[in-house]
Structure 1
């Protein structure tokens, strides 16, 4: 009996000594969430970071969007199927590259659909609307916002930019051409630009697709992807101008493959924590052991500027970024 009592007394001590405590997650890691996701649009709404990516799969299976939110860039919550083609009658496949912006109390989600190859096909750039960043989103127009080729630009890879004067612009284009157009107040169409045109070409040297724009110190940073999206040479380059209309003279690459980390790094977005002035680039890349074009994962790394305001080359990591709360 004494031996039994002694064993019972020592048992919790032994178990406590052998227990393993799960270490607290201090970095996001790359990829930041599981699954094949590409073309990530990152944005800040209130006290949360959000990422809206393409579901990376064969075109016929790209019929919905998931979204992800985080208070700190480290812990992410999945919001499944915020938009589905079941609610967009004209969209059948290849739902790509979501871009979202808040206007008043509504969230407008712009997307490409159907991968049209000519003006004779149905599809292009659409827009959906919701009262919450996690949706559910509903088709805003019942038809595409842009359904034709203008200036040679395939109507895909849309990005919505709010200028300092409160105007909203749609910047988009594949097939090595990029257009900018001024959205009307209802986001149902476009208003003429100062020169009287609707779609103005702003294509810089070596542009392929995936445009993105942000402002820093009153300068317009225009970024895009180069190379082929299924190849290892996919990369990100940029230019700087005094106007969203350009002209944009290419500065150089800032994100590209790393033989030790991943290849196919591109189609990105940029976010900033205004409180800390930390900048981040959110992008997709292909693991070194993958050859399938759709094997793309969403990653995040820090982005830095030099004393002249030029973007330093991004160092890709597997650790990702550390926690950074908003406000």
Structure 2
């Protein structure tokens, strides 16, 4: 009997060990953890802000973002199924003697062009003679591998428009490259009815705003061609259909700023869609809308069904701070929205969500999220 009990304990210990090992592998993004499962649940097991997913061909995907285990730079994760992600380590290192960038490394996006990979990112520029608190610029680094190392192409930002800029997004069409970015709110007070309302309530003396611009890029990414064009900005009038959701940072008394940032542009049929994020990126009301145009540089018209992605706590959910999205196009025609958000479990840490999106026959863009219930595997 004693021998039998001992054997049972050995078997039980072995099974517990296997389970523990399996959980550990799954937590670290082991792609073989659940090869036959049919569903996944948000959020994904990646603590990233501003997530961007690169399709590298051959069924391999790479994710980049803000944070995620990187110090003074950016890290990457890889996946074969868009759900289980494996840490690839830091792929770009800033804050070196050779780098123009010192801190505040944000929102990387990586594009494969022929056999090379180009990372556009935001960071604080070392050249700061007036010691500005926000001296953000956009740079570009290059690698022959999606896992780096990415080396800065130039010892300076792509260009200096005379104000701090963040959130680079690049679009290519007919041999031309376009750079989209957000002018930071910093020292950019704007008059509006929302600003007047906040002053009357004695909440804020001024309201600063960020605006999205687009400009043509030189083909070697060493600078821009022509002058930036204003694409999107927060509403001026209180009765504007977009004013309520785009002004929540102010009306909820979070901060004296209104954002239009995190833009991503793509073309569907003959229409250009620009998705963008509004409100305080560190607050509950961060949300996503979109606008459309017949030209890559506008003019853009905001959609009547905005916002298309926002917190769901008012509907009994637990997700807040949804924003800074990107769009993933699948070979079968499906579209996915990748974005960051927060849950009760994640607290202030931003975690990655992946939800299906679509453009309906009438041209309306819809994001089916945020979800925290089982969803069909994307692959």
Q: TM-score, normalised by structure 2?
A: 0.71
Q: Which residue of 1 aligns with 2:199?
A: none
Residues 92-241 of structure 1 mapped to structure 2, 5 A cutoff: 92-114=102-124, 120=130, 121=132, 123-149=136-162, 154-163=164-173, 165-173=174-182, 174-175=184-185, 176-191=210-225, 197-205=226-234, 206=246, 208-241=260-293
Preserved CA contact (<8 Å) 1:223 1:236: yes
Alpha-carbon distance in 2 for matches of 1:240, 1:286: 28
C-alpha distance in 2 between matches for 1:134 and 1:263: 31
Which segments of structure 1 move beyond 4 Å, counting only runs of 4 or more?
Answer: 18-23, 118-123, 204-207
Instruction: Give the conservation status (yes or no) of the 8 Å contact 1:124–1:148.
Output: no
Shift of 1:94: 0.4
Shift in CA distance, 314/137, structure 1 to aligned 2, threshold 3 Å: same
If asked which structure has higher relative contact order (CA below 8 Å, sep 6+), I would say 1
1:243 Cα deviation from its structure 2 partner: 1.2
Query: What residue is the counterpart of 1:29 in the other structure?
Result: 41
- Provide the C-alpha distance between the structure 1 equivalents of 2:345 and 2:78, rounded to a whole number of angstroms: 28
Alignment match, 1:65: 74
Corresponding residue of 2:309: 255
- Residue 45 (structure 1) aligns with: 56
Structure 1 residues 92, 131: CA separation in 2 closer, same or farther (over 3 Å shift)? same
Q: Say if 1:172 and 1:211, in contact at 8 Å, map to a contact too.
A: yes
Work out whether 1:246 is the aligned partner of 2:298: yes
CA deviation after TM superposition for structure 1 residue 148, in Å: 3.5
Q: Which runs of 5+ in 1 are unaligned?
A: 192-196
Tell me the SS of whatever aligns to 2:108.
Answer: strand
Q: How many correspondences in the alignment? A: 303
The corresponding residue for 2:100 is: 90
Aligned partners of 1:324 and 1:313: how far apart in 2? 15
Structure 2 residue runs of 5 or longer lacking an equivalent are: 23-32, 186-209, 235-245, 247-258
Q: CA RMSD in A?
A: 3.1
Displacement after TM superposition at 1:147 (Å): 3.0
Tell me how far 1:321 sits from its aligned partner. 4.6
For the 8 Å contact 2:337–2:367, the answer to whether it is kept is no
For the residues of structure 1 that align with 2:95 and 2:40, how far apart are their CA atoms?
33
More divergent stretch after superposition (216-225 vs 80-89): 80-89
Structure 2 Cα separation of the partners of residues 320 and 127 of structure 1: 38
Kindly indicate whether the alpha-carbon contact (under 8 Å) linking 2:122 and 2:165 is maintained by their aligned counterparts in 1.
yes
Contact 1:240 1:248 in 2 (8 A): yes
